[in-house]
Amino acid sequence: SDSAMVVDELRCPEPRTKAFAAMLAALGVRRGCLLAMDERSTGVYLSGRNIPNTIIRLVDELNAYEILRQPKLVFTKAALERLLRDPVRLGGASVRS
């Protein structure tokens, strides 16, 4: 099974946990996941906050501990592009070797 996936976008115009859980099930998420987004979405947060073992983070807030603990990672396309543009960040500044 794939442990990471990219979706075009995540939108929840109205906070509905049941609809959000159905969307995760359609993606193959069964035991929770880490959702990485490029911008805050109140609808997504409110819809997903009550789903067990599901964490919703901005891509800038990702940390190794949460990534390693989750069975699945789901990135929005924009979040993955943002991560790939500047994968290593310290205090908002890029670290170059």
Radius of gyration (Cα) for the chain, nearest Å? 14
Q: List, for residues 22-44, the tens digit of each pLDDT value.
A: 999 999 998 899 999 999 999 99
Q: Given this model, what pLDDT does residue 9 score?
A: 92
| pTM (whole model) above 0.85 | no
CB of 28 closer than 8 Å to CB of 60: no
pLDDT reading at 59 higher than 80: yes
Mean pLDDT of 19-24: 94
pLDDT reading at 49 higher than 80: yes
**Which residues constitute the domain of residue 87?**
4-94
Domain count, the chain: 1
Residue 72: give its domain's CATH number. Answer: 3.40.1370.10
Count of other CB atoms within 10 angstroms of residue 60: 13
